[in-house]
Amino acid sequence: MQWSAREICDLVDGKVIGDTEVKVSKPSRIEEGQPGTLSFLANMKYEEHIYSTKSSIVLVSNTFEPKTEINATLIKVTDVYLALSILMDKFEGQNKLQAEGFSSLAFVRDAAQIHDTVSIGAFTHIGESQIGEGTIIMSHVSISDRCQIGKNVRIYPGVKIYHDTIIGDNVIIHSNAVIGSDGFGFATNEDGTYKKMKQLGNVIIEDDVEIGANTTVDRASMGSTILRKGVKLDNLIQIGHNVEVGENTAMAAQAGIAGSTKLGKNCRVGGQTGFVGHLKIADGMQCQAQSGIGSNIKKENSILFGTPAIEYGNFVKSSVVFKHLPEMAKKLRELEKEVALLKKQNLTEQ
């Protein structure tokens, strides 16, 4: 299917600069654009490409003013990424995952309660669980007993969902994610060996959550590990037992949260960030990649960086000083020698 610049403009509430009837059928990166595709310019470090791109249409900010002639038709919008997200939904609709029905190679327990519209792929195992309308479960998925899975859930190949897990509507779980594995809990015996603490809780995933590939969400030791509505987890993330991640919080790849830590809503967590256990993190907290959070964050909308994490502005100022520490240490030693010499001279004169 093709969309004209005029039609796209109506979808994203934008303003067309150029040919209103030029048409596109798919997206492309601005530096690799081809006729019939739509690109975008949100980060100005890629501005050079807009003057040479072969894309037919480019989304740009309302504030963008070209430095020279541009061949592509421009659509100016208030928020480029939001407009792109709307359009990507349209493009994705052309190749949208389609339900394939019930594979004869799937194994489903007789006591399972599965809506007639559910699609189940080959070599998938489903225990005595409930699965709601319109859910698509691909191949090689394992769903244990007593799970509750809502409507329009999309579960990609290789996902493992342990017993008693509760999943809401419109959830997406990508390949090889593990939901409900045991939390990391051990007691130390007198001889230094470890005794495993039974993990008797579960995992609750509310509506509109997306979980990336190879991400692990541990079950609670008691009670529930909870991902609140709208949470977005990247690939390769570790969520420990009894953790609670607040509404609309987003976490980038390789971040990890130790047990019983509670993140507020609308937090943004950079890649490879680590949280120690039993913390409370205020709403709106943002932390840069590779930060280490070792204490409670009480102030809402805090912006943090570093290990241990401190206010972002202070970290930037400190990093400027840190780079000059060798030079500063050398000067300090020279000053110490000068002071010692002055003291010696002063004693001699006395």
pLDDT tens-place string over residues 88-134: 888 876 555 556 688 999 999 999 999 999 999 999 999 999 999 99
Using the predicted structure, report yes or no on whether residue 149 has a pLDDT greater than 90: yes
Measured in whole angstroms, the distance separating CA 182 from the mean position of its chain's CA atoms is 23
pLDDT digits (tens, 9 = 90+) for 289-306: 999 999 999 999 999 988
* Domains of the chain, first to last: 3-94 (3.40.1390.10), 159-308 (2.160.10.10)
d(CA 256, CA 286): 15
Assess whether pLDDT exceeds 80 at residue 236: yes
Q: Tens digit of pLDDT for each residue in 180-229?
A: 999 999 999 999 999 999 999 999 999 999 999 999 999 999 999 999 99
- Tell me the residue ranges of DSSP E strands in 2-69: 3-4, 15-17, 23-24, 26-27, 37-40, 57-61
Q: Are 237 and 216 a contacting pair, CB within 8 Å?
A: yes
Active site residue 125: no
Q: From the CB of residue 113, how many other CB atoms can be counted at a distance below 10 Å?
A: 10
Query: Between 170 and 326, where is the model more confident?
Result: 170
Catalytic one of 140, 163, 174, 241: 241
Burial of 253 (0-12, 13-18, 19+ CB in 10 A): middle
